[in-house]
Amino acid sequence: MLQSGISLQGVMAVPSVLVVAGTHGNEVNAPWLLDRWNQDPELLNSSELTVNPVIGNPAARQASCRYIDRDLNRSFRADLLALDGDAPRPLEVVRAQELIAAYGPKGRVPCQVAIDLHSTTAAMGNCLVVYGRRPVDLALASLVQGSLGLPVYLHEADSAQTGFLVESWPCGLVIEVGPVPQGVLDLRIIRQTRLALETCLASLAAAGQAEPRYPRSLVVHRHLGSVDLPRDQDDQPRAVLHDDVLGSDWRPLRSGQPMFDGCSSDPWPASPQSAFDGGIPVFVNEAAYVEKKIAFSVTQREVWPVLGDWIAALAELMRG
Amino acid sequence: MLQSGISLQGVMAVPSVLVVAGTHGNEVNAPWLLDRWNQDPELLNSSELTVNPVIGNPAARQASCRYIDRDLNRSFRADLLALDGDAPRPLEVVRAQELIAAYGPKGRVPCQVAIDLHSTTAAMGNCLVVYGRRPVDLALASLVQGSLGLPVYLHEADSAQTGFLVESWPCGLVIEVGPVPQGVLDLRIIRQTRLALETCLASLAAAGQAEPRYPRSLVVHRHLGSVDLPRDQDDQPRAVLHDDVLGSDWRPLRSGQPMFDGCSSDPWPASPQSAFDGGIPVFVNEAAYVEKKIAFSVTQREVWPVLGDWIAALAELMRG
C-alpha cells in the first residue's frame, strides 16, 4: 500500500500541508504540541497527509515575546517580501522570506496549504480565522465547521491589518484558541488546538476524495471594524471595557449597551449609535492588540450557502 | 482640623505610605488605577493617610514587559543594593536604589509602609502576600483579612526567591489579584485591587487609633516549596499541568492525584508521595514563573492566634 503524499509517476501527488506554530513567540501551546508530536507521531492523527510542522518565529519563541522587530503575521506583504538584502530588513521579514523559500508553493519543500496555529487571551474558544473569500479557504472552513461547529471569523477589508502568513499559500487558515495568557501551557488549549488541527487535516484529505460531506451552509462572522478604548490627551485609556463586554466574544452587542467603565462613581456615558450596534464582538481584550489599539473587533453574522465552486476548487487543489 | 500625616511640632507624625504599582511592567491594572487616581482623588479612599503613589518600573512599563535587566521585585537584596556606580548595574538595581533613596524610611520623602500592587495569570482571586514573619506585617494582614477575608500567602524560607521590594520598608505587603493575562486592563482586577488597597489603608489608619478591631486568628498559607513541570533531556516540558490542578489555587491537593498530563493516550504516571501531599497550590500557571521553572507553589494552611505583640508593634509604627 502506498503512503499518501508520495508521488509515484505523476499518478498521485496529494499536496503537502505546512503546519505553523509559534508564528507569535509568546503563544506557546501549539509549539509545545508540535514538539511533542515530533517525538511521538501517535500524538496527532494527520489523516495520512504529508505534513511539515515548523516553528514560525523561533527567535521570538526563544525570547518569549510576540516578535523581535515586527509582527511576523503582518509581514507577508508584497512590498515587504520584495525587500532584498541590500538594506537592513526586519528579522520577521527575513523569516517570512525564508518560510516561503522553504515551504511556499514553489519552495524547496512545496506546500499548497498552510495551517497557522494561534492562541489568544480573549475568550474566543476554538475557532477559525479566514482571510478574504478564496473559494478553497471557504470550502475548508465549511468542512471543519460541519464537523466541529467551530465559529469562523472572516477577516477582510481592513487596511490596517494586512500581510497574514496564510495568504502566501494557495489555501490556508488560522486556528485560534483561547482564552489563555501569553506564555503559559494549558492542557485545554493544547487539546482544542489538536482537535481543530486534526479536523482540518481530515477535511483536507476528504476534500480530494470521492464524496466529501459538506454542510449546506457556512456561518461566518464577517469583520466590520475595531473599537479602541476612550483615550485622554496623553493617549492613555480613560476607561476600560465594561463588565458586560469583557468575555463576551461571539455574543451580540445590544443597542446602546454600556461598552466602557471609567471606574468612578459616575457611569461612563453610553456610546453613541454606531454602525456596530447589534454587531458581534471578537478578540475582546486580546493582549497583543493593546499596541494596535484594538479593545475588540466587531463582526456581523452571515449565513452563506456552500457553493459548488468552493467544493470543486478544494477538490482540484487536493487531488494535486 | 489638621490633615492627617502633617507633622506639627512633633505632636503628630502619622507615617506616610508608599503605594507601588507596575513593579512588573506588564502588570498594567494597578498602574492604570494609580494614574486615574492622580487625576481624580475621589476614585480611591485613602483614609486620610498621606499616600505616595509611584510606578515601580516605568521603563519596563513603557516596554510592556516584566523587567528590562532583572526582576525588580527580586532586586532589593543587600548585595545588589550595595552596588555602586563604578561597575555597570542592572537597570532594576538602579531603580531599587532610587526608590529607597526617594521613599525609603530614611529617604527624601520617608515612608514607613510599602504596599506593592501586583497581578497574576493564576486564579488567585484577591489575596495578600506577606514575606516572613514581621509582627507589623502580620498585624496588617490580620486587619485586612478580618475585614475582607482575603487569603494570605506567607512567603518565607525560599532561598531561590529573595530581594522583595516590601522588605526594604519597616512594614509592607503585596496585594496580588488574578487571573488576568499580562498586558490587558480588566475592570474586575482594577476593582479588587482598589478594594484591597483601600482596606489596607483603612487598616493602617485604624491600627494607630484607640481600638482597632483585630480578629482572633490569622489564617496563613505558608510556603513549602515549588513544583516544576517534568522535563526532557533538552530541558523542555514533557507534560503540562493536569486539568485537576489548573485553576485550583487555594484548593488542597489530594494524595496521589494526577498533577501532569503528557497529552498522549497513556495517562501520566501519578507523582510519588511527597512532602506536598495535602498541600495547597498557589500561583498555578503564573506566566512570569515559567522562566523560574515554577509550575505552582505549594503551601500549608495554618491558623495562628493574633498576638498582642503584633498589635502593639503596628500601633507604635502608625502612631509615628
Instruction: Tell me, yes or no, if A194 comes closer than 8 A to chain B by beta carbon.
Output: yes
d(CA A17, CA A5): 10
d(CA B80, CA B92): 10
Residue B296 forms part of a structural domain: no
Q: How many residues does chain A have?
A: 320
Residue A289 forms part of a structural domain: no
Residue B116 forms part of a structural domain: yes
Q: Please, are residues B48 and B205 in contact by the beta-carbon 8 Å criterion?
A: yes
- Chain B residues in contact with A267 by the CB 8 A cut-off are none
Contact A265 B65 (CB under 8 A): no
Residue range A187-192: average pLDDT? 97
- Residue A107 Cα, gap to closest chain B Cα (Å): 30
Residue A207 belongs to what H/E stretch? helix A187-207
Model pLDDT for residues A70-84, shown as the tens digit of each residue: 999 999 999 999 999
Of all residues in chain A, what percent carry a pLDDT higher than 90?
A: 84
Contact B188 A290 (CB under 8 A): no
Instruction: Tell me, yes or no, if A248 comes closer than 8 A to chain B by beta carbon.
Output: no
- Residue A64 Cα, gap to closest chain B Cα (Å): 9
Instruction: Tell me, yes or no, if B235 comes closer than 8 A to chain A by beta carbon.
Output: no
- Residue B124 Cα, gap to closest chain A Cα (Å): 14
B191: closest chain A residue by CA:
A263
pLDDT at position B86: 86
Model pLDDT for residues A275-286, shown as the tens digit of each residue: 577 799 999 999
d(CA A131, CA B319): 65
Residue A115 forms part of a structural domain: yes
pLDDT greater than 70 at residue A213:
yes
Question: CATH code at B67?
Answer: 3.40.630.10
Residue B270 forms part of a structural domain: no
Q: How many CB pairs under 8 A join A and B?
A: 111
pLDDT at position A273: 62
Identify from B28, B39, B263 which residue to disrupt to test chain A contact, counting A C-beta atoms within 10 A and taking the largest count: B263
Instruction: Tell me, yes or no, if A187 comes closer than 8 A to chain B by beta carbon.
Output: yes
Identify from B33, B35, B36 which residue to disrupt to test chain A contact, counting A C-beta atoms within 10 A and taking the largest count: B36
Contact B287 A184 (CB under 8 A): yes
How many structural domains is chain B composed of?
Answer: 1
What pTM was estimated for this model as a whole?
Answer: 0.91
d(CA B23, CA B121): 16
Instruction: Tell me, yes or no, if A181 comes closer than 8 A to chain B by beta carbon.
Output: yes
CA distances B229 to A198, A312, B278, B318, Å, are 26, 47, 19, 44
A244: closest chain B residue by CA:
B187
Contact B285 A237 (CB under 8 A): no
Nearest to B140 by CA among B122, B162, B166, B159: B166
d(CA A297, CA A301): 13
Contact A229 B191 (CB under 8 A): no
- Chain B residues in contact with A236 by the CB 8 A cut-off are 35
pLDDT at position A3: 37
Nearest-CB residue to B186 (from A188, A285, A286): A285
Domain span including residue A38: 16-221+306-319
**Tally of helices (H runs) and strands (E runs) in chain A:** 7, 11
Q: Which of residues 255-294 of B touch A (CB under 8 A)?
A: 261-265, 285-288, 290-291
Contact A263 B194 (CB under 8 A): yes
d(CA B204, CA B313): 12
Complete edge-to-edge strand list for the sheet that includes strand A152-155: A51-55, A16-21, A111-119, A171-178, A125-131, A152-155, A217-227, A296-305, A280-282
pLDDT at position A11: 44
Q: Please tell me whether the peptide bond between B41 and the residue prior to it is cis, using omega within 30 degrees of 0.
A: no
Say whether the ipTM exceeds 0.90: no
Identify from A55, A231, A263 which residue to disrupt to test chain B contact, counting B C-beta atoms within 10 A and taking the largest count: A263
- Residue B179 Cα, gap to closest chain A Cα (Å): 9
| Bridge-based pairing state of the strands B111-119 and B16-21 | parallel
Q: Which of residues 107-166 of A touch B (CB under 8 A)?
A: 121
Nearest-CB residue to B184 (from A121, A185, A236): A121
Residue B36 belongs to what H/E stretch? helix B29-39
The secondary structure of residue A72, as a DSSP letter, is G
- Residue B8 Cα, gap to closest chain A Cα (Å): 34
Express the helix, strand and coil content of chain B in percent, nearest 5 each. 30, 20, 50
Residue B277 forms part of a structural domain: no
Q: Please, are residues A252 and A280 in contact by the beta-carbon 8 Å criterion?
A: yes
**pLDDT range class, residue A5, cuts 50, 70, 90:** very low
Show the low-confidence residues of chain B (pLDDT under 50): 1-11
The count of other CB atoms within 10 Å of the CB of residue B26 is: 23
Nearest to A319 by CA among A9, A19, A112: A112
Residue A297 forms part of a structural domain: no
- Residue A265 Cα, gap to closest chain B Cα (Å): 8
- Residue A118 Cα, gap to closest chain B Cα (Å): 16
Of all residues in chain A, what percent carry a pLDDT higher than 70?
A: 95
Q: Please tell me whether the peptide bond between A105 and the residue prior to it is cis, using omega within 30 degrees of 0.
A: no
Residue A73 forms part of a structural domain: yes
Instruction: Tell me, yes or no, if B44 comes closer than 8 A to chain A by beta carbon.
Output: no
Nearest-CB residue to B182 (from A182, A188, A194): A182
Contact B237 A32 (CB under 8 A): yes
Instruction: Tell me, yes or no, if A229 comes closer than 8 A to chain B by beta carbon.
Output: yes
Roughly how many angstroms between the first and final C-alpha of chain A, as a whole number?
19
Residue range A98-108: average pLDDT? 97
- Chain A residues in contact with B188 by the CB 8 A cut-off are 243, 246
- Residue A304 Cα, gap to closest chain B Cα (Å): 35
Contact B32 A183 (CB under 8 A): no
Identify from B240, B244, B246, B248 which residue to disrupt to test chain A contact, counting A C-beta atoms within 10 A and taking the largest count: B240
**pLDDT range class, residue A9, cuts 50, 70, 90:** very low
Contact A287 B182 (CB under 8 A): yes
CA gyration radius for chain B? 20
Phi and psi for A221 in degrees, rounded to 5? -110, 100
Instruction: Tell me, yes or no, if A241 comes closer than 8 A to chain B by beta carbon.
Output: yes
The count of other CB atoms within 10 Å of the CB of residue B224 is: 15
Q: Please, are residues A306 and A142 in contact by the beta-carbon 8 Å criterion?
A: yes
CA distances A141 to A22, A127, A165, B183, Å, are 22, 10, 17, 31
- Return mean pLDDT, chain A: 93
- Chain A residues in contact with B229 by the CB 8 A cut-off are 185
- Chain B residues in contact with A184 by the CB 8 A cut-off are 121, 285-287, 290
pLDDT at position B273: 62
